[in-house]
Amino acid sequence: MKRSFMSVMVVAAVAGAVVAGVGAAQATTTTALTPVAIRPGPSATLQADADALRKYGAPGVLVVWDTSHGDGRVRSGYGDAGRRTPVAWDAKFRIGSYTKPFVAATVLQLVGERKMSLDDKVERFLPGLIRGHGNDGRKITVRQLLQHTSGLPEYTNAMAAMGTEEGFQESRLRTWTSAELVGLAMRFPADFAPGTRWSYSNTGYVVASMIIEKVTGHTWQQEVRNRIVRPLGLRDTYLPGVTPTIPRPHAVGYQRFPGPGATPEDPHYGEPIDATLLNPSLAGPAGEMISTADDANTFLRALVTGKVLKRAQLAEMQRTVETDDNLRARWPGARYGLGIVWADNSCGGYWSHGGDIPGFMTRNGVTPDGSRSVTVSINTDSLKPDPGVRLPTVDITTELVDHALCNAR
């Protein structure tokens, strides 16, 4: 199976899938958020971009952008393909790995409070947790956990059964603890020696969350909620823990489970199922959270403008390292900081961190000065393009995000 850097699960990262028949009749709508008016240009361009995502297999698309000249939103397709209803303007959705910047920012706040250091070893807080098959918590730093340079193997390697519809249905409501997830990862050899390479690892963020809990005496969810969600007024952002439902309104999250060796262009690429109901503990601090596009934009802009972190810690977050060919192919110029990605675009570059989790795909971007941001929600993370259409090598939202950040003025 293909592993996506944004995905919280290997089994959820296969590029493929849309609900059969949805593309036959498009539902498209556009509006501006009151009381600020949007000029026709940006809305028309981004509406066309949202409509274009349908050919790649997006059942429904919601786009919300925020600029110094006004805010706006467009949508396309269906939030519920069976009922042929659009995605609600204020839809809640699983944000997948967009959870990671919240976790990283929480760790960095603790660093700013001198309760820990980025150069502390995992062993200081969690003695004996990381051991075996070349994995050694005595050699891995907190920075490397957040930066994906720890070499820790993916715990999702042990969840291959969830890559089938039968396995998904059997396990979708199971509760996982952080210790159990790390235990799964420890079955596998280290990917590389700490600090010698970059490779996306959800396991690193599970370990980071356990350090938050050790340092504070509270769950990572409590710390994120008290330090970030509440101070920023993110009233529609949730840390659900083991709750499998999504607060209303929300789109139906669709998921396909292709057979071995199938590609998205295969006509028999698996029939979509409703994957909305899911115990998010399988993602935990690597991708558990639920939010809205408005809240997602608010957090992005607050993060890069220093409303979440002190200057020194924000600088640490934005110190980037080289990534791998896969990430750079999907996001040209991509470099990774601490829970945030830098990527190139036509107006100089932007910060971002998307997420994939069964049923939902989140993409976003914010300009370096925080003056413009955009969030895209798609109600599947398993795309199946229209006949004759091939998925691009870059992420399917690349052009839309570029237009929102560089042209929506």
Of the residues 97, 150, 209, 373, which is catalytic? 97
Per the rule left: phi > 0, alpha: psi between -120 and 50, beta: everything else, 7 is: beta
Q: What dihedral angle (degrees, nearest 10) is formed by the CA atoms of 223, 225, 230, 232?
A: 90
Task: Tell me which residue of 389, 289, 400 sits closest to 350, measured CA to CA.
Answer: 400
Beta bridge partners of 352: 341
**DSSP, residue by residue, 171-198:** HTT----HHHHHHHHTTS--SSSTTS--
pLDDT at position 18 is: 28
Structure tokens at 186: 């420890």
Query: What mean pLDDT value characterizes the chain?
Result: 90
pLDDT at position 9 is: 47
**How is domain 10-352+386-406 classified at the CATH fold level?**
Beta-lactamase (3.40.710)
Q: What is the pLDDT of residues 83-130, one digit of tens each?
A: 999 999 999 999 999 999 999 999 999 999 999 999 999 999 999 999
- End-to-end CA gap in the chain: 40
Q: What is the pLDDT of residues 296-333, one digit of tens each?
A: 999 999 999 999 999 999 999 999 999 999 999 999 99
Q: Is 209 a catalytic residue?
A: no
Q: In angstroms, rounded to a whole number, what is the distance separating the alpha carbons of residues 373 and 408?
A: 10
**Residue 389 or 2, more confident:** 389
pLDDT at position 25 is: 33
**pLDDT over 70 (residue 6):** no
Percent of the chain surpassing pLDDT 90: 83
Cis status of the peptide bond prior to 127, with omega within 30 of 0 = no
User: Residue 183 burial (CB < 10 Å; 0-12/13-18/19+)?
Assistant: middle
**pLDDT over 70 (residue 7):** no
Q: What is the pLDDT of residues 205-254, one digit of tens each?
A: 999 999 999 999 999 999 999 999 999 999 999 999 999 999 999 999 99
- Average confidence (pLDDT) over 260-281: 88
**CB-CB contact of 377 with 90 (8 Å):** no
**CB-CB contact of 63 with 75 (8 Å):** yes
**DSSP, residue by residue, 320-373:** -EE--HHHHHHSTT-EE-SS-EEE--TTS-EEE--EEETTEEEEEEE-TTSSEE
Q: Give residue limits of the domains in the chain.
A: 10-352+386-406
- Mention every residue, 6+ apart, whose C-beta is less than 8 A from residue 381: 7, 12, 13, 96, 255, 356, 357, 358, 359, 360, 361
Band (pLDDT 50/70/90 cuts) for residue 35 is: very low
DSSP state of 387: T
Outline where 186-235 has alpha helix (H): 202-216, 220-224
- Average confidence (pLDDT) over 137-155: 98
Q: In angstroms, rounded to a whole number, what is the distance separating the alpha carbons of residues 98 and 221?
A: 14
**pLDDT over 70 (residue 28):** no
| Chain mean position to CA 359 | 12
**pLDDT over 90 (residue 21):** no
Band (pLDDT 50/70/90 cuts) for residue 22 is: very low
Beta bridge partners of 32: 72
DSSP state of 382: S
Task: Tell me which residue of 198, 201, 292 sits closest to 250, measured CA to CA.
Answer: 292
Pairing of strands 360-366, 355-357: antiparallel
Band (pLDDT 50/70/90 cuts) for residue 258 is: confident
Band (pLDDT 50/70/90 cuts) for residue 2 is: very low
Band (pLDDT 50/70/90 cuts) for residue 23 is: very low
pLDDT at position 269 is: 82
What's the pTM value of the predicted model, to 2 decimals? 0.92
SS3 260: coil
**pLDDT over 50 (residue 12):** no
SS3 16: coil
pLDDT at position 259 is: 75
Other Cβ atoms closer than 10 A to 117: 13
Place of tokens 């199938």: 262
Per the rule left: phi > 0, alpha: psi between -120 and 50, beta: everything else, 344 is: beta
Which stretch of DSSP H or E encloses residue 147? helix 142-147
